[in-house]
Amino acid sequence: MWQNLSLRGRINLLLALLLALGLAVNIGRQVAEAGPRVQAEDQSVIRLAREFIEMIVADLNEAPDPDAKLNQIARDLSRLRHVSIALHDSGGNPLTPPRPDADTRGPPAWFVSLVHPEQAAVSVPVSIHGKPGSLVITAHPDDEIAEIWDGIVTQLEVGSVIALALFFLMMTVVGRALAPLQSLAEAMGKLEGGHYEARVAPGGAPELGAICTKLNHLAATLHEAVEDKRRLAERAVSLQDIERKEIARELHDEFGPYLFSLRAHASALAKQADGRAPSADAVRKHGSAMLEQINALQQFNRRVLERLRPVGLAELGLRQALESLSRLWRESHPDVAIETVISPALGATGETADLTIYRIVQEALTNVFRHAGATSVNVVIEPVAQASDDGRGCARVRVSDNGRGMEPGQKLGFGLVGMRERILALGGTLNVVSGDGGLTVEALIPTASP
């Protein structure tokens, strides 16, 4: 049953038990103190009555009629509330009528038996002209017991009302304090269903308010991550389409004309072969043209392959591939100083990391020579102590130039955007910082080595 109760129900049940226990302890304390109170009342009343009787019977024998005087004393003392005094003869037989029964509307019998199980009585001997007798003093603490019982009943009634009032007040406070839990559960259910726009209004206790705020932040982060994933997939498809269009355009604009020209020269050679006297100059002319076009096709094919995958990266390694890339840019732009530094501590980074590093340097250098107008470029590749989320090491790639940088508000080009998304997919980061001293492209790329 306890496991099936909600948190609110458990707190309310504990509060009810604590209030009931407090009330029961208080009443139990009063019941436990009732016996000693009644006993003390008995002893006090009997002691006072005995002293009083001993004082008034001291000169009883001097009275004109001692027997009548003794009976009158016994009748007068019987009117006392807390004691009864009866005259007994020498044989212990009562000579005065018994005390009338107390009001039956007093405490219940079980309570009287509990706090006053037996009556206290004291016998005071008296003698009239040598005739023995006694006055028996019996305590009757009915008023004291009734007062104690009324106090217990009053405590029970008032305590119950106060306990109920406190219980309902605490129920209200606990209900309002735990109200955000239902909203939290609903929001988590929506998040589980993919509705990342769900939010919770912070409220209740400060701890729950902080949880609501953190859940809203988590929902916003998840929503942003899902949107980034969607944009990444969209960008990947878009870049693939752009790449396919560019390759298709190049094939159409360059590969097609070369093939058409080869076909024309091949047809001309075939006609020369079919002739009775082929012209050596014509055959040589067509053959030379075909060789030139084949060389152009080979260069075009090499450029296409370079775009799809760097030639020699797997065979030569990252260092020599980057050196070859830098050398090609130096040959085509001798007025720009290119310094490439690859740390000797950089070990094997893995095929995927090698390709990513190469592409970052290639894209950064392309942007420098197309847009920056720089005269100096520094390329630094080194390992860093920072590890990726999965425990792998990282390599830092920094390409900086002294060009004009980016204009305020200018967005990154498709190349750098594609590289950033590629690096993010690998678990790394890419930052582009533009300033008065040029542009710096810095990336952290997880490597294959842990």
What pLDDT, in 10s, does the model give residues 195-250? 878 888 777 677 777 888 888 888 888 888 888 777 767 776 776 777 778 778 87
- Among 123, 140, 175, the domain boundary falls at 175
| Cα distance between residue 355 and residue 376, in whole Å | 24
Percent of the chain with pLDDT over 70: 75
Q: Is residue 164 domain-shared with residue 202, that is, in the same domain?
A: no
Residue 400 lies in domain: 317-446
Q: What is the pLDDT of residue 388?
A: 54
- Among 126, 145, 175, the domain boundary falls at 175
Split into its structural domains, the chain has a count of 3
Q: What is the CATH number of the domain that holds 360?
A: 3.30.565.10
| Cα distance between residue 357 and residue 223, in whole Å | 30
Mean pLDDT (the chain) is: 76
Does 449 have pLDDT greater than 60? no
Does residue 258 belong to any structural domain of this protein?
no
Does residue 35 belong to any structural domain of this protein?
yes
Q: Is residue 108 domain-shared with residue 140, that is, in the same domain?
A: yes
State whether residue 239 is helix, strand or coil: helix
The alpha-helical segments, DSSP class H, found in 178-198 are 179-192
Neighbours of 115 (CB within 10 A): 22
Does residue 187 belong to any structural domain of this protein?
no
- 280-323 residue pLDDT tens: 777 778 788 888 888 888 777 776 766 666 666 666 777 888 88
Q: Is residue 92 domain-shared with residue 229, that is, in the same domain?
A: no
- 117-167 residue pLDDT tens: 666 777 777 665 556 767 777 777 777 777 888 888 888 888 888 888 888
Q: Is residue 198 domain-shared with residue 162, that is, in the same domain?
A: no
Q: What are phi and psi of 52, to 5 degrees?
A: -65, -45
Does 12 have pLDDT greater than 70? yes
Q: What is the pLDDT of residue 97?
A: 61
- Among 146, 175, 204, the domain boundary falls at 175
Q: Is residue 38 domain-shared with residue 145, that is, in the same domain?
A: yes
| Cα distance between residue 26 and residue 152, in whole Å | 9
Q: Which has more pLDDT, 59 or 357?
A: 357
CB-based burial, 40-65: b 16+ in 10 Å, e otherwise: ebbeebbeebbebbeeebeebeeeee
Q: Is residue 124 domain-shared with residue 234, that is, in the same domain?
A: no
Does residue 56 belong to any structural domain of this protein?
yes
Q: Is residue 376 domain-shared with residue 244, that is, in the same domain?
A: no
Q: Which has more pLDDT, 306 or 17?
A: 17
Does residue 152 belong to any structural domain of this protein?
yes
pLDDT confidence bin for 391, thresholds 50/70/90? low
The structure's pTM equals 0.44
Q: Is residue 99 domain-shared with residue 208, that is, in the same domain?
A: no
Q: Is residue 339 domain-shared with residue 244, that is, in the same domain?
A: no
